């Protein structure tokens, strides 16, 4: 709520309330201008979220001994 909190005016172009922005994990900021239904908001998030890249598992070439 920009009326009660400080916010960076140079990043967010708020002209009315409620104004919604989505900030992805990599810092991309996108203004939401769609319908305010749950389905539309979830669809917007799915389209704008960052994809998670899974690291490949690393196999050790060193044999492991199970005995102490």
pLDDT of residue 51: 73
Return the sign of the alpha-carbon dihedral for residues 48, 24, 26, 56. negative
Predicted structure pTM score: 0.52
58 within a domain of the structure (yes/no)? no
pLDDT of residue 53: 60
Return the sign of the alpha-carbon dihedral for residues 46, 33, 4, 6. positive
19 within a domain of the structure (yes/no)? yes
Averages of pLDDT over each 10 residues, the chain, 68 residues: 66 74 88 92 92 64 73
Question: Domain residues for 31?
Answer: 1-50
Q: In the numeric block, which tokens belong to residue 55?
A: 């690291």
66 within a domain of the structure (yes/no)? no
55 within a domain of the structure (yes/no)? no
Q: How many domains does the chain have?
A: 1
């Amino acid at each position: 709520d920009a009326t009660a909190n400080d916010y960076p005016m140079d990043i967010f172009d708020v002209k009315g309330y409620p104004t919604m922005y989505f900030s992805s994990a990599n810092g991309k900021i996108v203004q939401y201008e769609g319908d305010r239904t749950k389905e539309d908001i979830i669809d917007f998030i799915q389209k704008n979220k960052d994809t998670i890249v899974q690291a490949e598992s690393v196999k050790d070439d060193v044999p492991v001994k199970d005995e102490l």
